[in-house]
Chains A and B, each alone.
Chain A
Amino acid sequence: MKISLFGFLFVMWVLIIAGGGILVMILGPFSISGYGDFDSLLTSIFKAIIAIILIIVWILILSKLKNWIFKKEIKF
């Protein structure tokens, strides 16, 4: 079987680990203050937006990698 599939799987795994690291480093210490009862809500909303952006970036990177890794296979 094509080694490229195992390669793509491995790259996905590395991206998950790296993405997790970025998420923990960016979102972990982040908190909004000065808005009273809304502090935790605003912090959550901001964290959610950052996380969604990271997921979109992750999908875009995967799409590029897919085209690059499988450029010989995907003639369809």
Chain B
Amino acid sequence: MTELIIPAIISCIVAFLTVYFTTPYLIKFLQKRNLAVKDMNKKDHVMIVRPGGPSIIAGIIASELILYGFLQINEVLAIIITSFIAFVIGYVDDRKVMGGWFKPIALILASTPIIIFGAYDSNLSFPLFGTVQIPALYLGLIIFMIPITGNTINSIDVLNGVASGFMIIASFSLSIALFILQNYEISIASLPLGFISLAFYKYHKIPSKIFPGDSGALALGAMYGAIAIVGHVEIIAAVALLPAIINSFLFLSSMKRIVEHRQIKGKPVEHTEDFKLKATNDKTAPITLVRLILASGPLSEKQVGYAIFKLTIFSGILAIITAFMMRVVI
């Protein structure tokens, strides 16, 4: 295990510094090309550039390639290629508005490297009860896992800093869980995700200088999903992601179909006179996590973001408890 310390430190430093130093250049580049969208939750007419995906994917590729140099395992290659395909799919959606079904269907393609490299184990492990062998079903799980994690992270990207802040907490929880389960190589491969999110959060936190866009959110989500599969921690990963899963679940159960946010007419949230966020009574609008948080009264964008982070910390703790429970079989 001690031989993994140096690769871990180098990859984390490279992950952080790549995003930290490339993002300002990306912001200037996007500003020059006028690739900006209105920040809907600001009183003044504020335009924010997007997408931040290119700097995020640069961080993923640079850090994971270094790890591959040290570890030479297919799991790391699968993580890199899966994240890159998800980034490309997101970038297409950033540049050209696609239908609601585009991302979930296209992201199935992103899961194929995991299958091609054989970087999975068809045993699904559950806390307390042990494992169940489901070879055919597990292939289906891989195919669905990447679209689910990618779109789940994308759907939580609704306020300044939330997607990147959420990923910091969820990914570090997953790294700790992998460490508890003594899956040291994948634990180290998962650490760059936290550091990439941390570096990006510097520019994404309120007031945002850049939005990750679909390319950034899908790359982060797909990398998270790929780590969950190659690290055999699918259930723990799902637990750490619960606030975002709740958001998607509430959205889908209220809308009864897969639909792009921009296609929805009803607004779940509106602004008060002092530009705080407030839940609407619009029955045609989807129920979302933010809307439920605001059900008790108006809050500022920052307060809603912190409320989501509190929920993520809670689910992160549950994920770590689940990891300890994995080591106990009744």
- On whether the beta carbons of B132 and A23 are closer than 8 Å, the reply is yes
Residues of chain A within 8 A of B263, CB atoms compared:
none
Partner of A45, one of B132, B136, B243, B292: B136
Contact A5 B281 (CB under 8 A): no
Asked if residues B296 and A73 are in contact (CB atoms below 8 Å), the reply is: yes
- B79 to A: closest C-beta gap in Å: 24
Q: Is B98 an interface residue (CB 8 A)?
A: no
Are the CB atoms of A24 and B129 closer together than 8 Å?
yes
Please tell me if B169 contacts chain A, counting CB pairs below 8 Å: no
A39 to chain B, nearest CB (A): 12
Number of A-B contacts (CB under 8 A): 105
Task: Report the nearest B residue to A4, measured CB to CB.
Answer: B292
- B137: chain A residues at CB < 8 Å are 44, 47-48, 51
Choose among B243, B279, B315 the residue that contacts A76 (Cβ–Cβ < 8 A).
Answer: B279
Contacts of A41 on B, CB cut-off 8 Å?
136
Does A5 lie within 8 Å of B311, measured CB to CB? yes
- Which residues of A lie under 8 Å from residue B246 when comparing CB positions? 5, 8-9, 12
Q: Which residues of B contact A9 (CB under 8 A)?
A: 242-243, 246, 311, 314-315, 318
Is A25 in contact with B292, judged by CB distance below 8 angstroms? Answer: no
Q: Known: A2-B296, A10-B318, A27-B132. Contact between A20 and B235, CB under 8 A?
A: yes
Which residues of A approach B to under 8 Å, CB–CB?
Answer: 1-2, 5-6, 8-10, 12-13, 16-17, 20-21, 23-25, 27-28, 40-41, 44-45, 47-48, 51, 59, 62-63, 66, 70, 73-76
Q: Which residues of B are in contact with A by a Cβ distance under 8 Å? A: 124, 126-137, 140, 235, 238-239, 242-243, 245-246, 249-250, 253, 268, 279-283, 285, 287, 289, 291-293, 295-296, 307, 310-311, 314-315, 318, 322, 325
Nearest 3 A/B pairs, CB to CB? A20-B126, A44-B136, A73-B295
